[in-house]
Amino acid sequence: AMLGKGLAIGPQGVCFSAERATEATSSSHGIDDVCGLVDMKVPDVYSAELSEFVMKAGARLMEQQMRPDVLYLSTTDYIQHKHAPGTPIANAFYAMLDRYLQRLDELGADIAVTADHGMNAKHTAEGEPAVVYVQTLAEAHCGAGAC
């Protein structure tokens, strides 16, 4: 929900959590039947499959429903914590990501890939979450209501 702060939910505004995809409705998240969209049940949060669910949802949204200005797909780091680089499971995971990134590229997406990790505090000295809302940044760049 933090990434969706200020987002106008509807045909051009979709925001849902993969791990809670079954709770998504068009009125609250801008989309119904996420599992039907990706033809998958919600995988366990501690699995490579949850990241595939996220990537597949992004590709399907671009293919079938919308051409978003911004498509933010947040995957888990489960594989990176469980399997060393170069192992068969890690390689299979990155091959899966590559296939979805290729598909998004074919659909015309401009792609930026980043890592989330750092070892600094995730809260302010007052104990409040240290967050930056994507919608706030987008509106500062594009203008209010433009993205």
Contact 50, 43 (CB under 8 A): yes
Q: 127 lies in which domain range?
A: 44-142
Does residue 60 sit within a domain? yes
Higher pLDDT, 9 or 106: 106
Tell me the per-residue pLDDT of 58-69, one tens digit each, with 9 for 90 and over. 999 999 867 777
Residue 20, pLDDT above cutoff 80: yes
Residue 93, pLDDT above cutoff 90: yes
Does residue 65 sit within a domain? yes
- Quote the pLDDT of residue 65: 60
Tell me the per-residue pLDDT of 94-120, one tens digit each, with 9 for 90 and over. 999 999 999 999 999 889 888 766 556
Does residue 137 sit within a domain? yes
User: By percentage, how much of the chain surpasses pLDDT 90?
Assistant: 46
Question: In what helix (H) or strand (E) does residue 106 lie, and over which residues does it extend?
Answer: helix 88-106
Residues whose CB is less than 8 angstroms from the CB of residue 14 and which lie 6 or more positions away in sequence, other chains included: 29, 30, 31, 61, 65, 66, 68
Does residue 120 sit within a domain? yes
Higher pLDDT, 13 or 102: 102
How many other β-carbons are positioned within 10 Å of the β-carbon of residue 18?
Answer: 25
Does residue 84 sit within a domain? yes
Question: In what helix (H) or strand (E) does residue 60 lie, and over which residues does it extend?
Answer: helix 48-60
Does residue 33 sit within a domain? no
- Quote the pLDDT of residue 96: 97
- Quote the pLDDT of residue 69: 78
Report long-range pairs for 42-49 (Cβ below 8 Å, ≥24 apart): 42/18, 45/19, 45/76, 45/78, 46/76, 46/78, 47/76, 47/78, 48/78, 48/79, 48/89, 48/92, 48/93, 48/96
Number of domains in the chain: 1
Joined tokens for residue 28: 């609250």
- Quote the pLDDT of residue 68: 76
Does residue 70 sit within a domain? yes
